[in-house]
Amino acid sequence: MGQTLVVLKRLSSGLASGVAGVFKTVGLFFVDFALFLFNLLTPDRKKGAVIPKGCPGYGGKWPEYVPPQAGDSRCSCPALNALANHGILPHNGRDISFKDLNTVVRQSYNFSPTFCKFVPSYAANMLSRDYNTDFFDLADLDAHNCIEHDASLCRLDVHEEPDQGKIAHELVERLLTRGTGPNGNLTKKDLSRLLGERRVEAKRANPKYSQAFIHKMFGSSNSSTLLTIFGGQIDDIRTILTEERIPDGWEPRIRHRMGLTILEFNNTVLPVELGVKEEVDGSINVAGRERYDAVQKK
Ligand SMILES: *[C@@H]1O[C@H](CO)[C@@H](O)[C@H](O)[C@H]1NC(C)=O
Ligand SMILES: *[C@@H]1O[C@H](CO)[C@@H](O)[C@H](O)[C@H]1NC(C)=O
Ligand SMILES: *[C@@H]1O[C@H](CO)[C@@H](O)[C@H](O)[C@H]1NC(C)=O
């Protein structure tokens, strides 16, 4: 009897927190929609005035860039590493609160408050930490297949390179030379193509390759950040990916007052993901089979 009660209690509290979670997420998307409308109805911030006054990067003046030193924590995300390299996040990349991450990413990259809440909450959840009270090191974000995943455009798979903070210069170089837009800028089609190639290549080479649907969406989201916040502009993207530095005078290319909302972001993410030909024609599956056959032959 007593045990049944415990089970019931646990069930009901589990259910309650599940329901609360759904309400929170639905609430967040509702707010996101409101911000999306607000952005539509209000004029963008003026060029040169995207970063709020008093914040690092205001007027294009970013704090001094210092490359990471031995012992500094870095992760697979060039944009977050850049914030640490400029000392906007702690330079050692350690003891960052999820709440501060929200604020700093919003001020520096002009993602919407909803996006900046969603992603650190997701990360906190993944790491079984509390968004409101807990801290993390940048490298903690690289728990495999939480957010970090295979077939990165700028990192070798963790199977080959356990340190996901390390820039894979060959991959980055490939990305930088494949833009077909004006001046070699990157377009949605370019990124779909590059993602497809990388997934096939990684799946062929990596016996531990995995890519869940959510990670495909994350991958397309990274690519979409290059297209939105960085405007596809290859010179800026070169600096951020090869040095993890924010270019002098740079500001986010999204100038909306409420930043890049989740809804607007999806407008880029979905076409990029749906444009991955290898997923549509099934050649991604062939890549897996080829590796399997090769192993069998040995
Ligand atoms: C997207 O970012 C995550 C986290 O930084 C990384 O692990 C992943 O490989 C990236 N995906 C692509 C396609 O670059
Ligand atoms: C392409 O890139 C150049 C240099 O990075 C930039 O000046 C230009 O505005 C970009 N064009 C488009 C259409 O984004
Ligand atoms: C946007 O995409 C994310 C995944 O990237 C998804 O969780 C969310 O439901 C989408 N939101 C909207 C409002 O379309």
Kindly report, residue by residue over 115-158, the tens digit of the pLDDT: 999 999 999 999 999 999 999 999 999 999 989 999 999 999 99
Ligand 2 proximity of 185 Cβ (cutoff 6 Å): yes
Measured in angstroms, how far is the CA atom of residue 242 from the centroid of ligand 2? 19
| The model scores a pTM over 0.75 | yes
Ligand 2 proximity of 234 Cβ (cutoff 6 Å): yes
- Which tens digits make up the pLDDT trace of 177-210? 999 999 999 999 999 999 999 999 999 999 999 9
Tokens of 234: 């290859």
User: Can you name the CATH fold of 57-297?
Assistant: Chloroperoxidase (1.10.489)
Ligand 1 proximity of 220 Cβ (cutoff 6 Å): no
Phi-psi sector, 231: left (phi>0), alpha (psi -120 to 50), beta: left
256 pLDDT above the threshold of 80? yes
Contacts of 195 (CB under 8 A, 6+ apart): 151, 153, 219, 220, 223, 272, 273, 276
Phi-psi sector, 249: left (phi>0), alpha (psi -120 to 50), beta: left
Ligand 3 proximity of 227 Cβ (cutoff 6 Å): no
Tokens of 203: 């799946």
Nearest CA to ligand 1 atom 9: 152
Ligand 1 proximity of 76 Cβ (cutoff 6 Å): yes
Confidence of residue 260 (pLDDT cuts 50, 70, 90): very high
* Residues 6/225, Cβ–Cβ less than 8 Å: no
Question: Which residue out of 176, 183, 236 has the highest number of ligand 2 atoms within 8 Å of its CB and is therefore the one to mutate?
Answer: 183
* Residues 56/82, Cβ–Cβ less than 8 Å: no
Task: Identify residue 106 by its one-letter amino acid code.
Answer: R
99 pLDDT above the threshold of 60? yes
Measured in angstroms, how far is the CA atom of residue 262 from the centroid of ligand 3? 6
Ligand 3 proximity of 31 Cβ (cutoff 6 Å): no
213 pLDDT above the threshold of 70? yes
Ligand 2 proximity of 233 Cβ (cutoff 6 Å): yes
Residue 162 to residue 184: CA distance in whole angstroms: 32
Contacts of 121 (CB under 8 A, 6+ apart): 98, 131
Ligand 3 proximity of 29 Cβ (cutoff 6 Å): yes
Ligand nearest to the CA of 226: 1
- Which tens digits make up the pLDDT trace of 37-60? 999 999 999 999 999 999 999 999
10 pLDDT above the threshold of 80? no
* Residues 64/87, Cβ–Cβ less than 8 Å: yes
Ligand 2 proximity of 182 Cβ (cutoff 6 Å): yes
Residue 75's closest CA among 6, 149, 182? 149
Ligand 1 proximity of 77 Cβ (cutoff 6 Å): yes
Residue 168's closest CA among 158, 181, 155, 180? 155
Residue 152 to residue 135: CA distance in whole angstroms: 26
Confidence of residue 21 (pLDDT cuts 50, 70, 90): confident
Question: Which residue out of 266, 267, 274 has the highest number of ligand 3 atoms within 8 Å of its CB and is therefore the one to mutate?
Answer: 266
Ligand 1 proximity of 149 Cβ (cutoff 6 Å): yes
Can you give the pLDDT at residue 198? 96
Measured in angstroms, how far is the CA atom of residue 263 from the centroid of ligand 3? 7
Ligand 3 nearest atom to the CA of residue 270, by list position: 2
Can you give the pLDDT at residue 117? 95
Nearest CA to ligand 3 atom 1: 266
Tokens of 167: 């820039």
Ligand 2 nearest atom to the CA of residue 231, by list position: 14
